[in-house]
Amino acid sequence: MRIHVNKHGVPSKARMVLHQDSSFGMAAPDIGVDYQIGLDDLGKLALDFNFATGKCISVEGYSTDKFAGFRECDLDIDAATDCDLRMAPSDDDPTEFGMTFKIPLEGRFIDPKRKRIRFGTPSVSSIAYRFGEGQYIYFNGGDIEAILIEFYIVEGAFPAGRRG
């Protein structure tokens, strides 16, 4: 399995919503999603794809305890290149719904003022791509270093992180 950007593609129109139970995903239900790739062992972060096109529609996940353990900070978005995010399955990949593609996303961060969360820490040499409305991914030499989510809709109060 390979996840990569198509720099000539158009970002997904799916907007992100944060629910009261600290789960998050696209605001419009299931617009063309039929394949999911988990990014961790706990199922807290996943990418939703359309298998026929290979295009990522949105990121989804959840946090327990109102984002406890997330470090509060300013999450600026530097210049990001618009793209669409793609998957390229290998011959031995299953075609049924879902698989896990673990990536080391070091650190979890929250910016309550801007309604953003980030999984991972981009290095100075990583490149930011906007693959959907409020959805950003940071690559460094083909490796995913971070995913940033900006919420369009927040049901209830946006949780505060912990100063760290």
Reported as a single tens digit per residue, the pLDDT across 72-93 is 999 999 789 999 999 877 666 5
Round to whole Å and give the CA distance between 51 and 35.
6
Residue type at position 64: T
Whether the per-residue pLDDT at 155 is higher than 90: the answer is no
Alpha-carbon separation of residue 56 from 76, 95, 96, 112, 158 (angstroms): 23, 16, 16, 26, 26
β-strands 71-72, 108-111 pairing = parallel
User: pLDDT at position 162, please?
Assistant: 45
The rounded percent of the chain whose pLDDT value lies above 70 is 85
Residue 26 is which amino acid?
M
Length of the chain: 164
Give pTM, 2 decimals.
0.88
On whether the CB atoms of residues 127 and 137 are closer than 8 A, the answer is no
